[in-house]
Amino acid sequence: MRGKARDWGTPNTCTIIFKQGKWYASVTVSCDPKRETGKEACGIDFGTHHALAFDDGTVIDNPRFLKQSQDKINKTAKKSRKKRAGKKGVKGSRRWKKAVRKIGKIQSLVGRQRQNWHHQVSTQIVSCNSLVATEKLNLKGMTKKAKRGSKRKRQKTGLNRSILDVGIGNLKSLIKSKVTEAGGFYIEVPTRKVKPSQTCPNCGHQKKKTLAERQHNCEKCLYSCDRDVASAQVCLNWARGQELSSLDVESPSSTLCGSMRQLGAKKHNNAKKRQKHLAQQSG
């Protein structure tokens, strides 16, 4: 094992998995995880312009892991002289299989880079903030495919890709679980009611912005700052005005370290695939 476990306890299970040509062992231990946290509070806005924007004006930009590797993937996929496996029992060529393996390797590298980044960012946030306020996001709506024949299809595809490349959903759930583990509060602002992107954090005046407007300029009190930062401030203001006891906040509970649920799902999927494969062979 490289490094050491953050919290150790009684080992319960050990699962060995084989993924992309490598072996992994996942050990779950039953323990009471402890996490240090600070006394500060912060509001966060997740966007596409900046991956994260905080209420104090700091922003974290999107690392774009997939974009970095996309060229390599495209090149590998394009290399000539390989036969794809088809539906009617067409076997793929050796070159094709090799290319598929290579692409898989790059993709899992991207996945690991992204996960590492998520852990670093979320740990850093939780280490000084025990109250995190953010907006509820409709990821499915945000990353909907463009309509057929739409002129902006390519643009929308690129936007979707960049939203998905950040992996906001995963990052948010990591922040949530880490804050809860530390005994802090994770608060999601009801978007429809509060409208963080349209409200002035200084005076509360509401005005719609177009997507192109990157700056918040209040026409009433002349308050001006980055659009995403303003939205994070609105979230934090709302959360500060709430009574914490009345909120539906999950209480910290002892959790199993290690992602057994994910592993379980993977095992289930693999079993399904094998069954399908066997059925095809016998049929």
Nearer to Zn ion by C-beta: 43 or 258?
Answer: 43
Contact, 191 vs 136, CB < 8 A? yes
Q: How far is the CB of 220 from Zn ion (least distance, A)?
A: 5
Write out the two tokens for 112: 């690991």
Nearer to Zn ion by C-beta: 41 or 218?
Answer: 218
Nearer to Zn ion by C-beta: 175 or 229?
Answer: 229
Region 223-282 residues binding Zn ion, contact defined as CB under 5 A: 223
Dihedral sign computed on CA atoms, order 67, 69, 72, 75: negative
Nearer to Zn ion by C-beta: 33 or 201?
Answer: 201
Q: Left (φ > 0), alpha (ψ -120 to 50) or beta: where does 258 sit? A: left
Q: How far apart are CA 88 and CA 283, in angstroms?
A: 13
Q: How far is the CB of 160 from Zn ion (least distance, A)?
A: 33
From 24-32, 197-205, 230-238, 268-276, give the range in contact with Zn ion by CB under 5 A: 197-205
Contact, 7 vs 182, CB < 8 A? no
3-state helix, strand and coil shares in percent for the chain, rounded to the nearest 5: 45, 20, 35
Angle, nearest 10°, between helix axes 153-166 and 168-181?
20
Question: What are the DSSP calls for 245-268, one per residue?
Answer: GGS--PPP---BSS-HHHHHHHHH
Q: How far is the CB of 224 from Zn ion (least distance, A)?
A: 9
Using H for helix, E for strand and C for coil, what is the string for 117-139? HHHHHHHHHHHHEEEEEEECCCH
Q: How far is the CB of 207 from Zn ion (least distance, A)?
A: 9
Region 71-90 residues binding Zn ion, contact defined as CB under 5 A: none
State which amino acid sits at residue 14.
Answer: C
From 16-24, 172-180, 192-200, 270-278, give the range in contact with Zn ion by CB under 5 A: 192-200
Q: How far is the CB of 204 from Zn ion (least distance, A)?
A: 7
Nearer to Zn ion by C-beta: 166 or 218?
Answer: 218
Whole-number Cα distances in Å, 59 to 44, 202, 218, 225: 9, 20, 21, 12
Q: How far is the CB of 50 from Zn ion (least distance, A)?
A: 22
Region 84-143 residues binding Zn ion, contact defined as CB under 5 A: none
Q: How far is the CB of 212 from Zn ion (least distance, A)?
A: 20
Nearer to Zn ion by C-beta: 66 or 232?
Answer: 232
Region 199-228 residues binding Zn ion, contact defined as CB under 5 A: 200, 202-203, 205, 218, 220-221, 223
Nearer to Zn ion by C-beta: 85 or 221?
Answer: 221
- Interacting residues with Zn ion (CB under 5 A): 200, 202-203, 205, 218, 220-221, 223
